A and B are shown apart, each in its own frame.
Chain A
Amino acid sequence: MRPAAATHPSNSSSHSQQEPRAANPLLLLPSSRAAKLSLGCPILDRLLSGGLPAASVTEIAGESASGKTQLCLQLALVAPLSPMSSSCLFLHSDLPFPLRRLRGLAPKSRPDLLDHVLVAAAHSTSDLLSLLSRAQHLLTHPNDSPRRLPIRLILLDSIASLFRADFDASPADLRRRSALFFRISAKLKELAHRHQCVVVVTNQVVDVVEGETGNTVEWSSGRRVSPALGLAWANCVNTRLFLTRDADGPNGCSRRRMKVAFAPHLPERACEFAIRRDGVFGVEPSER
């Protein structure tokens, strides 16, 4: 889009043809309460007061092997069975797609659940942007196949690996990089809003070297870590969930925690969870 369009807002976007119309939040209330995607575990759902919100971008950050991908796979399998009954668009940048883990998670009795997981690989940021505009087309013109459920869940695993290679630490590259964050995020948020989708983006972590960066900082495996991509990306998500792990205890098993780092609708709070063969589940404090 050329910035010159700014002076003619009325004919530059198909959505601003008519006068902007104010919505009444009261009318949005019932749908916003209903439109939560369950994580498939009542304890984790309670942490998120019902699940992941629709029309909003949720980030799941955590170090490697903290359960990010597992959680995404679980969401993909829960979505068709949930009240939202949606298929899911799984965009992955970490190759290869973890098909065996997905099959392992799917209940043996319901192999058809895999039909509702649409997978696409994004190798670069430009790849991702073109995938997203194709996704927009797919969402506005739903598939003819009647068996396919509408897509109301978009998973992106992970955003950080897209930016690992192509960018230097020079000021020009950093500026280009953050402009891209905002472009990708705006696209994701637009899809989320126009089609009432749940959007989940996973992110890696980096060690905290300097003192105050303004970004979320947590202890995980005995390291001080922050979600990758810095403060600019932190501005791009609505809700940030942080998966952390305590440093290994004497008995070898470490406690995992899911923490709400920030969310417009939730207080800062955390909950323990465990990764089992059949999925990710919350742990009541008393069950320890």
Chain B
Amino acid sequence: MEIADLPICTSHRAKLLAAGYSSLAALSAADPPRLALDLNIEIPEAEDILKIAVCANKFKGADGPSSVIKGAQNAWDMLSDEQSRKHINTGSGDLNNILGGGIHCKEVTEIGGVPGIGKTQLGIQLAINVQIPVECGGLGGKSVYIDTEGSFMVERVYQIAEGCISDILEYFPHYQNKAPSGQEKLKPESFLADIYYFRICSYTEQIAVINYLEKFLGEHKDVRIVIIDSVTFHFRQDFDDMALRTRVLSGLSLKLMKLAKTYNLAVVLLNQVTTKFTEGSFQLTLALGDSWSHSCTNRLILYWDGNLRYAYLDKSPSLPAVSAPYAVTGKGVRDAVSSNRKRARVM
């Protein structure tokens, strides 16, 4: 849209063009007093012209010829979008800090570690924590849990849900009284009922479920997290052709990234650890090979240091690579006790 097309009176239009305002961009740089002076009109009139110009600009931004690809966003919008976005609490404050607030929606996060380090625990914790009500600082969403290994133990999920509820009531003691619906809502049973659980027994089923997710998420818009525990297990058998495996896996990860973006949800992939022979020594590394490591936005590695569990942010587009201790308690994933003590001493 040009000045000539602006829905303003003809005399103003003529004055604008005569004063040298040939494009909307030139107009957008002007302020009302300046415009009033240039056109020799009253200030309120100038304000009206500017308002109309701003509206026209917005309209143009939506689907005008200047936006090359439909739906393209500028970085400023993305930044404000990102700042207003909520994160999924991991249960441990230290872990949230290194992740920049928690697990991010619209992103794929990979979590890896040796058996028994707490990958499944973190996965279950996230499936529960995503359901923390909005009034208590949560997302109030639902979760999809895709279990490939059979480690999803319902009795443990129940315990973690109970732990989560007792923490909510500790921080928001009035929540139960304030919300009339709270009475029935904050029950471990309802937390369990809001997890959609898929048990997968082969990689073909895994591919099928991920393909089906598109439809499923379209029908269940309140899902805020998809957890796959683990993405690896069925891909470490029956694949003689490693190139094929890489292609299948990258196809899966592309699909998951798209789902994360479209439905504004977090995707968390749990991965196993394997030993790799490099430069004459065996080193621990995440499974599925080097090309797979490109398929996640964030990568968190869990490891033991002595008797303490640590998490290391191995890959992130915006955050530094640091590590933090955490603990797995009866209530679920929490801060490591020793780090609390350290913080108390500093304060």
Query: A residues touching B (Cβ–Cβ < 8 Å)?
Result: 1, 3, 5-6, 9-10, 12-13, 15-16, 19-20, 22-26, 28-29, 32-33, 49, 53, 55-57, 171, 178-180, 182-183, 186, 189-190, 192-194, 210, 212-216, 230-232, 234-235, 237-238, 240, 261-262, 264-265, 267-268
Contacts and interface: CB of A to CB of B under 8 A. Distances in A.
Interface stretch (B4-12, B173-181, B232-240): B232-240
Interface string B221-246: 00000000000111011111100110
B208 A9 contact: yes
A-B pairs, 10 with minimum CB distance: A262-B116, A182-B237, A265-B153, A22-B196, A9-B208, A265-B156, A264-B151, A214-B114, A26-B192, A32-B154
B237 A238 contact: no
Interface string B153-180: 1111110000000000000000000000
A55 B152 CA distance: 10
B73 interface: no
Nearest to A2: B238
B43 to A, nearest CB: 62
B330 A29 contact: no
Interface in B83-117: 114-116
Contact of A3 (B197, B239, B330): B239
Contacts of B245: 3
B233 A3 contact: no
A12 B330 CA distance: 41
8 contacts: A1-B204, A15-B201, A20-B209, A23-B196, A25-B157, A183-B237, A234-B116, A264-B152
Nearest to B195: A25
B275 A56 contact: no
B204 A192 contact: no
Report which residue of B208, B241, B277 has the largest number of chain A beta carbons within 10 angstroms of its beta carbon: B208
Contacts of B154: 25, 28-29, 32-33
B47 interface: no
A260 B285 CA distance: 25
Interface residues of B, number: 57
A268 B182 CA distance: 34
A24 B116 CA distance: 26
Nearest to B272: A235
A244 to B, nearest CB: 16
Contacts of A189: 149-150, 201
B284 interface: yes
Given A22-B197, A216-B116, A264-B152, A186 B204 contact: no
B240 A23 contact: no
Given A6-B244, A56-B150, A264-B153, A186 B199 contact: no
B116 A9 contact: no
Contacts of B284: 212, 214, 231
Interface string B188-232: 010011011111011111011101100010000000000000001
Nearest to A53: B153
Given A53-B153, A55-B150, A264-B120, A26 B193 contact: yes
B153 A22 contact: no
A13 B202 CA distance: 9
B144 interface: yes
B282 interface: yes
B273 interface: yes
B274 interface: yes
Contact of A214 (B155, B189, B211, B275): B275
B197 A183 contact: no
Contact of B158 (A10, A29, A231): A29
B155 A32 contact: yes
A287 B253 CA distance: 55
Contacts of A268: 116
A257 B232 CA distance: 33
Contact of A23 (B199, B216, B277, B330): B199
Interface in B259-315: 272-275, 277, 282, 284
Contact of B211 (A5, A9, A24): A9
Contacts of A22: 144, 196-198, 216
Contact of B205 (A9, A26, A213): A9
Given A3-B238, A13-B204, A22-B144, 10 more contacts: A13-B205, A15-B205, A16-B205, A20-B209, A25-B145, A171-B277, A194-B201, A212-B284, A235-B232, A240-B115
Contacts of B189: 26, 29
A32 B115 contact: no
B238 A213 contact: no
Contacts of A193: 150, 199, 201
Given A56-B151, A238-B149, A262-B116, A231 B204 contact: no
A25 B150 contact: no
A179 B237 contact: yes
A217 to B, nearest CB: 10
Report which residue of B145, B205, B237, B240 has the largest number of chain A beta carbons within 10 angstroms of its beta carbon: B237
A25 B161 CA distance: 12
A180 B273 CA distance: 17
A3 B244 contact: yes
A158 B110 CA distance: 34
A232 B198 contact: no
Nearest to A13: B204
Nearest to A191: B201
Contacts of A20: 198, 205, 208-209, 212
